[in-house]
Amino acid sequence: MKKMLIVIATLTAFAAPAVCSAAPAHPGPYASGFVGISAIRNTDVTTVANQTFQDRVELDPGLFIGGTGGYDFGYLRMEGELSYKYATINSINDQINNFQFISPDGNIGALAMMFNAFFDLHNDSPITPYAGGGIGFAAVHLSDTYGTDPLIGRQLLYGADDDTVFAYQAGAGLEFAVNRRLSLDLGYRYFATDTANFNSNQAGAISLKLESHNAAIGFRVKF
């Protein structure tokens, strides 16, 4: 994670001198790529196995990477986005029996396909603030997840499975024009999904919602 922050800071430092004298790009088609950090919020995992109980799952900050393709109409941009978020599980707490599983091992990933619209607030400077959001779908993957119960020992808590659910996001950022075709993008996205259900045909069926705060740096190319 520290290496990723160093890379982002270095790219920003090299781009800054060019930004100072650049002019914002004209309307037209564009493509972009970005990389950053995803902080997935703590989520409640509801498990049904003879009885209903609930775990509170906490995750470490993880990877956020993706790309877009769209059209800039001047003050409005419309685009399609393909992005991926990934994080490892840090802790699992049984909320009913009030204990924490020891040494949890598992991860959650989400491949999102979004349709976005952003409004660009153009001004006399090469820095353009923007805001907007989007809707789409996310293929959420939960890996085999293990944890150690203080009384029972090591066990499989959640079986690996996938579910595709509705997703939405909202965010804002700053576009720094390097020249008429290339710009640097610093952005934030709040991302969330509908409830994902895993292993629905088994006794260990579980469900969860995914919410995350995402920050990224990227480059946008106008054609």
- Give per-residue pLDDT as tens, 164-196: 999 999 999 999 999 989 999 999 999 999 999
> Which is nearest to 205 in space by CA: 158, 144, 170?
158
Q: How confident is the model at residue 3 (pLDDT cuts 50, 70, 90)?
A: low
Q: How confident is the model at residue 19 (pLDDT cuts 50, 70, 90)?
A: very low
The CA–CA distances, whole Å, from 165 to 18, 37, 48, 141, 197 equal 42, 22, 20, 11, 9
> Is the pLDDT confidence value at 21 over 70?
no
Cβ contacts of 150 within 8 Å, gap of 6 or more = 99, 102
Q: How confident is the model at residue 8 (pLDDT cuts 50, 70, 90)?
A: very low
> Is the pLDDT confidence value at 147 over 70?
yes
> Is the pLDDT confidence value at 18 over 80?
no
Q: Which domain holds residue 27?
A: 2-222
Q: Can you give 83-151 as a three-state secondary structure string? A: EEEEEEEEEEEECCCCEECEEEECEEEEEEEEEEEEEECCCCCCEEEEEEEEEEEEEEEECCEEEEECC
Of all helices (H) and strands (E), which one includes residue 19? helix 2-19
Higher-pLDDT residue of 10, 145: 145
What is the pTM (predicted TM-score) of this model?
0.85
> Which is nearest to 161 in space by CA: 212, 126, 109, 125?
109
> Is the pLDDT confidence value at 6 over 60?
no
Determine which of 9-18, 32-41, 53-62 has the lowest per-residue pLDDT on average. 9-18
Give the amino acid at 161. Answer: D
> Is the pLDDT confidence value at 41 over 80?
yes
Higher-pLDDT residue of 91, 201: 91
Are 138 and 193 contacting, i.e. CB atoms less than 8 angstroms apart? yes
pLDDT of residue 48: 61
**Tens digits of per-residue pLDDT, 64-92?**
999 999 999 989 999 999 999 999 999 99
pLDDT of residue 26: 74
Are 136 and 165 contacting, i.e. CB atoms less than 8 angstroms apart? no
pLDDT of residue 96: 83
pLDDT of residue 200: 78
pLDDT of residue 60: 97
Quote the tokens at residue 83: 């992005």
| Count of domains forming the chain | 1
Give the CATH number for residue 92: 2.40.160.20
**Tens digits of per-residue pLDDT, 97-130?**
888 999 999 999 999 999 999 999 999 899 999 9
Higher-pLDDT residue of 54, 160: 160
